[in-house]
Structure 1
């Protein structure tokens, strides 16, 4: 099993992956450097996946790194959270997937259009799915906590970075239209059902300051929009 390590240097965080005759995949354009006998390939996805990727913000091409050695992905002021799929099917928010072991099954799914539009994600909201056995690393603005949901989870903004398929996504006012207006609350994201969720309640301080100074420099930088 490949070893995933998150290291912190000068306020930046970087994902290091150690391979021993193994294979991992990453998001497109994430490589910083490779050491040892590691080979990179970039297999093309099916034409349907390419078309979906072209009309959305989610990349369908996932470069592969195989062999024995070390792969360093590019550093970020954001953080990285490593978890195991444990035979569950996880749905990740756009731009969250960072890397995974080769045995993990990657897919793409289209979220329902109306909730996606009201959440500010556009009509075409393509999301990465991961399933099977193996480690997955996601890109997050702050510490990530895995919680159990049995009923309903209501959050402001994109605090839920991933969820199992037992949770259904919708958008509504947290307390009805009039009461929400009086309370100063906007539309909330609602996850209903039973399953697990990966949540990021707060961002790292340097990422928070970056978002305040240059909010438009990175389209995935501020998840609490």
Structure 2
């Protein structure tokens, strides 16, 4: 659970993130602009993001239990996975990031992801522990939905796991997400560990033979 203490300040949160609050705090929900409405649909985030203004303490949390990380933005932009955004300072703009066509078609991220930009704090969540990886003119290969967030200036693409299609298929990896450049990436292996566990359990189920 996230505890936000404010003094004559305003914070923004994902709809449904509020658990409870204490103090003189006013909750407001404004109608989004046409552009904001379309961005919300594209990123699968909720259309309405209420603001909390005043002085007191607010407790936020996502609908699932997980791990939280605070991003300290300093006039920069980050791309976060769909559903990872929880809340942020009002100074942070929440919008949409459009992936390249090939990346959108063949990656699990889709055409649009959530973008947070500006200066301020952003809280994101994942289903397991989050690890920061710093790239210095380097390349990070990610199999599946490991990446929870990345700095927006990093190059994100989908590539074959190996040089040839046949060898990629034989390796069991096929296509992988590749992040290149200099910057920070946050990863959380838990979703893939969860899928691997389900796969391992399914392998133990006896199958009928003809």
TM-score by length of 2: 0.82
Could you report, residue by residue, the CA deviation over 1:140-191 in whole angstroms, capped at 9, with x for unpaired residues? 1112122222231101111111111221111122113222222221311111
| Structure 1 alignment gaps of length 5 or more | 1-13, 214-225
Q: 1:131 to 1:16 in 2, by over 3 A?
A: same
Deviation beyond 4 Å, 4+ runs, structure 1:
207-213
TM-score by length of 1: 0.77
Larger radius of gyration: 2
More helix, by proportion:
2
| Structure 2 alignment gaps of length 5 or more | 199-210
Please give the secondary structure, in 1, of the residue aligned with 2:49.
coil
Q: How much has 1:59 moved relative to structure 2?
A: 2.7
- Say whether residues 1:187 and 2:175 are aligned partners: yes
Counterpart-to-counterpart distance in 1, 2:190 and 2:194: 12
Residue 142 of structure 2 aligns with which residue? 155
- Say whether residues 1:136 and 2:133 are aligned partners: no
Q: CA RMSD in A?
A: 2.4
Q: 1:210 to 1:161 in 2, by over 3 A?
A: closer
Residue 59 of structure 2 aligns with which residue? 72
Counterpart-to-counterpart distance in 1, 2:88 and 2:129: 19
Residue 219 of structure 1 aligns with which residue? none
Counterpart-to-counterpart distance in 1, 2:116 and 2:152: 10
The match for 1:61 among 38, 48, 59 is 48
* Greater CA drift, 80-89 or 49-58: 49-58
Paired residues of 2:43 and 2:96 also in contact (CA < 8 A): no
Q: How much has 1:131 moved relative to structure 2?
A: 2.1
Total equivalences in the alignment: 195
Counterpart-to-counterpart distance in 2, 1:120 and 1:198: 17
